[in-house]
């Protein structure tokens, strides 16, 4: 879940085991140098300059860089050499990790990795069994993922690839599926391949995304459970935008906000002769009701793409067919939007929603008495706050939204995650207690001395506002009608959250409507599922938001927003 919270998961652990792998041939990448940005909790924490070169003996991947935050790594020189069949030959690392010198010199045979390791002013040797065609991935040296991107770029779903987490142990990376992704930049369109993989570590496997371009080069590494994202700079610049889905009537535009512009996509309804006859009840047939799709603070694109499902992109297309103008946008500092995220709290994100409302009021095709805000997941909290501040918002839609206080919700999410791991009850309790101490330190500013040094990084301001957020405090004062929608198979934010939100809405002093939409067999991504569990996401066969849910949401929003008389 995107809202797992600060420091809930440590960076790649050393508890790993060797597993079987499938051998495959690898293509030749396009040589050259690239700059990558490293993000932790959506905050930019460093860069890495990566070069891939072809040599007489094979291929060399090298890099230098600096990453701050909890990683605290300076890469003086990283170099990994492969032969022309992409079998590992030698690894050299010269770095400073946590303020201490760190180095690895390793050579490889078909069966073993022989390493000399320099750590904490001590030097020791280590030998690990490996596969002949293993990909070498030392933790937090992201240049090494170039080799994994090359291997994945021609692999088929179900392929397993041995990966040596140098100098620890060999694991297996399983390719679950690959999708195509178009990224629009000022220099043109990048055709990307988005590889959904699972790192099969001992006791705690986790999902990740590895992106490659048409030249078999690395574009992005995304590890949501670790709050890590590494992306090539040409796709994270303000001129770049990922296009997960493109609806027939989409139009891109920019919306003035507080000193910057929000990049958005407007989806207009079908012409009146083809739209639903009951969809537009205004006096002027050129005016339409509007739905603003509100991103959460951890959103990475305006389509709200998660596990390959463009949730907002699908909602925009479906709701426009229902007779709504729909607008979705990149969060400030994300995608093509301006602004910065460093100082933003939930209130600042709510002010961005109000900027979108102001823009819509000036459009001739908008019925400004029927503007609804709809949020999925934590985006629902931002939508709530915006509705509490903006009188021009006529209705609120909440899709798979948590109902508890933020700090309580993070603990619930972590408990669910730990339940899927093979650790002892004692260790599980220790991790939960650590999370509580982190919450106390974030909310009060004291107690950081009781937190492990590697977790004492300053969290993003939105996280403190998130921990303190309590939906009941906001809902009790809302004057807008609410539509709460939830999938009965949601195992990330379980359906009881929808029931509690409805109870809060019905308990309001005002006589205002609160409607519940429950759809069978839908998971948290609002798509049909069998179990609804997170580990089912990579194997989902249908990856579009349920048409039944979209139709029900559109119908309820039309009912609760009175047309202009």
pLDDT, position 241: 60
pLDDT, position 564: 54
Condensed to tens digits (0 to 9), the pLDDT of residues 62-110 reads 999 999 877 889 999 999 999 999 999 999 999 999 888 999 999 999 9
Condensed to tens digits (0 to 9), the pLDDT of residues 122-167 reads 999 999 999 999 999 999 999 999 999 999 999 999 999 999 999 9
Rounded distance between C-alpha atoms, residue 34 and residue 30, angstroms: 11
The region of weakest confidence among 253-267, 330-344, 487-501 is: 330-344
**24 falls in which pLDDT band (50, 70, 90)?**
very low
pLDDT, position 459: 67
- Structural element, H or E, at residue 38: strand 32-40
Condensed to tens digits (0 to 9), the pLDDT of residues 183-233 reads 776 667 888 999 999 999 876 788 999 999 999 999 999 988 787 889 998
Residue 437 has pLDDT above 80, yes or no: yes
Residue 238 has pLDDT above 70, yes or no: no
Strand order in the sheet with 482-487: 250-256, 261-267, 325-329, 288-294, 366-376, 395-399, 482-487, 514-519
**54 falls in which pLDDT band (50, 70, 90)?**
very high
pLDDT, average across residues 444-458: 76
What is the residue-averaged pLDDT of the chain?
Answer: 87
The region of weakest confidence among 105-109, 160-164, 349-353, 534-538 is: 534-538
Residue 456 has pLDDT above 80, yes or no: no
Asked whether the beta carbons of 167 and 106 are under 8 A apart, the reply is yes
Q: Please give the residue that has the higher pLDDT: either 241 or 342.
A: 342
**511 falls in which pLDDT band (50, 70, 90)?**
confident
Architecture of domain 244-405+469-560: 3-Layer(aba) Sandwich (3.40)
**335 falls in which pLDDT band (50, 70, 90)?**
confident
Condensed to tens digits (0 to 9), the pLDDT of residues 29-39 reads 999 999 998 98
In the chain, where the domains are located: 32-236, 244-405+469-560, 407-462
Residue 49 has pLDDT above 50, yes or no: yes
Residue 275 has pLDDT above 70, yes or no: no
Return the structure tokens found at 131.
């596969």
pLDDT, position 4: 38
Phi/psi zone of residue 415: left (φ > 0), alpha (ψ -120 to 50 degrees), beta?
alpha
Rounded distance between C-alpha atoms, residue 167 and residue 104, angstroms: 8
pLDDT, position 286: 76
- Structural element, H or E, at residue 219: strand 218-223
pLDDT, average across residues 311-325: 96
Buried-state track 455-485, b at ≥16 Cβ within 10 A, e below 16: eebebbbbbbbbbbbebeebbeebebbbbbb
Residue 11 has pLDDT above 70, yes or no: no
Q: Please give the residue that has the higher pLDDT: either 315 or 280.
A: 315
pLDDT, position 458: 63
The region of weakest confidence among 235-249, 314-328, 463-477 is: 235-249
Residue 222, beta-bridge partner list: 209, 229
Residue 246 has pLDDT above 80, yes or no: yes
First to last CA, the chain: 43
The region of weakest confidence among 33-42, 111-120, 305-314 is: 33-42
pLDDT-above-70 percentage for the chain? 88
Residue 13 has pLDDT above 80, yes or no: no
pLDDT, position 450: 83
**405 falls in which pLDDT band (50, 70, 90)?**
very high
pLDDT, average across residues 416-440: 85
Rounded distance between C-alpha atoms, residue 82 and residue 29, angstroms: 13
Residue 355 has pLDDT above 70, yes or no: yes
Rounded distance between C-alpha atoms, residue 196 and residue 201, angstroms: 16
């Amino acid at each position: 879940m995107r809202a797992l919270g600060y420091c809930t998961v440590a960076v790649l652990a050393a508890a790993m085991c060797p597993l079987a792998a499938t051998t495959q041939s690898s293509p030749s990448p396009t040589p050259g140098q690239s700059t990558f940005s490293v993000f932790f909790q959506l905050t930019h924490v460093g860069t890495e300059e990566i070069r891939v070169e072809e040599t007489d003996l094979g291929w060399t991947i090298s890099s230098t860089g600096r990453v701050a935050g909890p990683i605290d790594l300076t890469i003086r020189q990283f170099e990994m050499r492969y032969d022309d069949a992409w079998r590992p030959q030698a690894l050299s690392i010269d770095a400073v990790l946590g303020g201490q010198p760190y180095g690895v010199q390793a050579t490889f045979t078909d069966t073993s990795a022989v390493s000399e390791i320099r750590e904490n002013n001590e030097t020791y040797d280590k030998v690990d069994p490996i596969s002949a065609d293993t990909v070498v991935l030392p933790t937090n040296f992201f240049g090494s993922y170039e080799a994994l991107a090359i291997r994945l770029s021609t692999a088929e779903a179900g392929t397993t690839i041995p990966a040596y987490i140098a100098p620890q142990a060999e694991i297996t990376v399983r390719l679950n599926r690959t999708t195509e992704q178009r990224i629009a930049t000022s220099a043109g369109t990048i055709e990307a391949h988005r590889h959904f993989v699972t790192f099969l570590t001992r006791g705690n496997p986790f999902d990740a995304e590895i992106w490659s371009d048409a030249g078999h080069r690395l574009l992005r590494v995304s590890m949501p459970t670790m709050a890590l994202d590494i992306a090539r700079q040409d796709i994270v610049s303000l001129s770049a935008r990922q296009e997960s889905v493109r609806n027939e009537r989409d139009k891109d535009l920019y919306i003035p906000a507080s000193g910057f512009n929000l990049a958005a996509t407007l989806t207009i309804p079908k012409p009146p002769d083809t739209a639903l006859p009951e969809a537009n009840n205004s006096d002027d047939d050129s005016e339409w009701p509007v739905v603003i799709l509100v991103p959460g603070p951890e959103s990475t694109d305006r389509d709200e793409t998660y596990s390959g499902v463009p949730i907002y992109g699908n909602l925009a297309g479906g709701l426009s067919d229902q007779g709504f103008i729909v607008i979705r946008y990149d969060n400030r500092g994300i995608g093509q939007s301006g602004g910065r995220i460093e100082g933003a709290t939930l209130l600042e994100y709510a002010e961005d929603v109000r900027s979108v409302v102001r823009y819509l009021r000036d459009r001739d095709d908008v019925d400004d008495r029927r503007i609804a805000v709809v949020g999925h997941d934590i985006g629902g909290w931002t939508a709530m706050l915006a509705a509490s501040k903006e009188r021009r918002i006529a209705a609120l839609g909440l899709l798979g939204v948590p109902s508890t206080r933020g700090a309580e919700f993070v603990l619930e999410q972590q408990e669910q995650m730990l339940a899927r791991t093979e650790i002892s009850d004692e260790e599980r309790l220790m991790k939960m207690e650590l999370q509580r101490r982190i919450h106390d330190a974030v909310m009060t500013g004291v107690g950081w001395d009781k937190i492990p040094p590697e977790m004492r990084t300053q969290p993003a301001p939105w996280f403190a506002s998130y921990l303190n957020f309590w939906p009941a405090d906001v809902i009790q004062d809302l004057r807008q009608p609410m539509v709460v929608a939830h999938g009965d198979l949601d195992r990330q934010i379980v359906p009881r959250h929808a029931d509690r939100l409805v109870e809060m809405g019905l308990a309001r002093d005002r006589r205002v409507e609160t409607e519940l939409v429950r759809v069978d067999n839908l998971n948290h991504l609002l798509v049909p599922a069998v179990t609804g569990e997170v580990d089912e996401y990579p194997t989902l066969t249908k990856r579009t938001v349920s048409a039944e849910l979209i139709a029900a949401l559109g119908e309820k929003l039309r009912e609760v927003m009175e047309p202009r008389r």
